[in-house]
Amino acid sequence: MARRSDHTREEIKTMAVAAGRELIRDAGYAGFSARKVATAIGYTVGTLYNVFENHDDIILHINAVTLEDLLSVMESRFGVSGDASADLDDYEALRALAACYIDYARENYNCWSALFEHNLAPDMPLPDWYGEKIGALFTLIEARLKPVVGEDEAELRQTARVLWASIHGICALTLTNKLTLVGVETAESLTAALIGNYIAGLKTRPARL
pTM of the entire predicted model: 0.89
pLDDT for the residue 179: 75
Query: Which segments in the chain show pLDDT lower than 50?
Result: 1-2, 84-86, 209
Which among 120, 131, 112 has a CA at the least distance from the CA of 24?
Answer: 112
pLDDT for the residue 2: 42
Can you say whether the dihedral through the CA atoms of 195, 75, 177, 158 is positive or negative? negative
Q: Are 179 and 173 in contact (CB under 8 A)?
A: yes
Distance CA 78, CA 71 (A): 10
pLDDT for the residue 183: 66
- Which letter, b or e, does each residue of 155-174 get, where b requires 16 or more Cβ atoms within 10 Å of its Cβ? ebbebbeebbebbbebbbbb
pLDDT for the residue 151: 85
pLDDT for the residue 91: 87
pLDDT for the residue 3: 53
